[in-house]
Amino acid sequence: MQQTHCSNRTSYVIDPASAIEHVRLYDQHRLMTRVAGGLFPKDLTLESVSSVLDLACGTGEWVCDVAHTLEVPCVGVDLSTWVLLSARASAKMQGLDDLVTFQQMDVTQPFDFPDHSFDLVNARFLADVLPRACWPTVLQEGLRVLKPGGSVVVTEAEWATTTSPAAQHLAHVALEAFWKAGQGFSVTGRELGVVHALPALLKGSGAHHVQVESFVLDCSYGQPHYTAMVRHLWATYLLMQPFLTQMGYGSQEELYAYCDRFAQQCREESFQGGMVLLRAWGGKSDEPEREDFFLPPSFPSLSR
Ligand SMILES: C[S@@+](CC[C@H](N)C(=O)[O-])C[C@H]1O[C@@H](n2cnc3c(N)ncnc32)[C@H](O)[C@@H]1O
């Protein structure tokens, strides 16, 4: 299962042209920003940030909110023409055309930016998007385009667990399919494995002073994030159907029937669910990093 080079442009399993996906990304941004207590790690110093890059920015919600908050030039890059169309329109409608620009770019390839271009490089929710072998390339490029003193911030979540048997079935097949497709850092295919991987990935790619903060999203029946999260999960499973069918995990009819059962089961007052979110960040420095770290066997090789 170990891969040693990064060749795929993307293994994004959802159609980026789907209108449901654009709504899902918008809702996901609002929900996850609330859960994570804001757009940035709480201990990150923002005073000297004068330029921001968001990798695989999707419909640009994070980068537009950052431009509103910091009032500095921000750049969002993504591979998909469709999400960039949506992102540019959204920035225009928010009056952010002067501050935010969007560019089509494949983040698994050398970035189209010179060294030392940005104070902050952000990457969020790419564990089930990028092949695991591409992570070192992406993080090393993120550090290359970072100015000394800047930070790379990466936010990822493990897959939600719930008491809905239908959702658990879909979670099980999705995680196994990701694993078989070369995504995530699990050693068994039973979880994404990204939460434990992030700090070591950052350190292994050359980031200094790596820090983490974690959050638990409780989406049990009646909790504040219940409605947003069950809607998000349902939409995610619905949109993943073509990928799951292609990977041999059931026909469209069968998979849609699981989505329907989940919609029913999450209405039970006994429904419980949760998800763990991790934000890890590190900086760029000329000093040698002294801290030791160990890479699990599922890791791609990290050349430094
Ligand atoms: C799950 S969305 C995450 C969007 C955004 N980071 C967020 O937090 O809302 C994944 C995005 O990655 C983009 N993507 C997939 N492969 C890519 C690649 N190789 N280079 C750049 N973007 C890519 C997809 O087009 C999609 O917009």
Average pLDDT on 100-119 reads 97
pLDDT, one tens digit per residue, over 236-293 is: 999 999 999 999 999 999 999 999 999 999 999 999 999 999 999 999 866 655 555 5
Q: Is 106 in the pocket of ligand 1 (CB under 6 A)?
A: yes
pLDDT for 300 equals 59
| Least confident among 43-52, 188-197, 285-294 | 285-294
Residues 6+ apart with CB under 8 A from 155: 32, 36, 122, 123, 124, 125, 277, 278, 279, 280
| Mutation to probe ligand 1, out of 9, 22, 53, 57 (largest number of atoms < 8 A from CB) | 57
Instruction: Count the neighbouring beta carbons within 10 Å of the beta carbon of residue 164.
Output: 24
Residue nearest to atom 12 of ligand 1 (CA): 56
Q: Is 125 in the pocket of ligand 1 (CB under 6 A)?
A: yes
For 60, the 3-state DSSP assignment is coil
Q: How confident is the model at residue 2 (pLDDT cuts 50, 70, 90)?
A: very low
Q: How many CA atoms lie within 13 A of 171 on its CB side?
A: 19
Distance from residue 230's CA to the centre of ligand 1 (Å)? 22
Write b or e for each residue in 66-86: b if 16 or more Cβ atoms lie within 10 A of its Cβ, otherwise e: bbeebeeebbbbbbbebbbeb
Average pLDDT on 157-169 reads 98
| Mutation to probe ligand 1, out of 8, 12, 154 (largest number of atoms < 8 A from CB) | 12
Report the atom number in ligand 1 closest to the C-alpha of 122.
6
Which stretches within the chain are classed as H helix? 19-35, 61-70, 81-93, 135-144, 165-180, 194-204, 226-246, 252-265
pLDDT for 4 equals 43
Confidence check: pLDDT of 23 > 70: yes
Which strand (E) or helix (H) includes residue 217?
strand 208-218
Bridge partners, 151 (sequence order) = 120, 283
Distance from residue 264's CA to the centre of ligand 1 (Å)? 30
pLDDT for 11 equals 74
Q: How far is residue 103's CA from residue 80's CA, in Å, rounded to a whole number?
A: 10
pLDDT for 270 equals 97
Q: Is 249 in the pocket of ligand 1 (CB under 6 A)?
A: no
pLDDT for 289 equals 56
Q: How many helices (H) and strands (E) in the chain?
A: 8, 8
Tell me what percent of the residues of the chain surpass a pLDDT of 90: 88
Distance from residue 79's CA to the centre of ligand 1 (Å)? 7
Residues 6+ apart with CB under 8 A from 216: 274, 275, 276, 277
Residue nearest to atom 20 of ligand 1 (CA): 106
State the average pLDDT for the chain: 92
Distance from residue 269's CA to the centre of ligand 1 (Å)? 35
Residue nearest to atom 4 of ligand 1 (CA): 58
DSSP symbol at 134: G
Q: Is 255 in the pocket of ligand 1 (CB under 6 A)?
A: no
Distance from residue 168's CA to the centre of ligand 1 (Å)? 25
pLDDT, one tens digit per residue, over 33-47 is: 999 999 999 999 999
For 138, the 3-state DSSP assignment is helix
Q: How far is residue 203's CA from residue 292's CA, in Å, rounded to a whole number?
A: 9
Distance from residue 129's CA to the centre of ligand 1 (Å)? 7
pLDDT for 241 equals 97
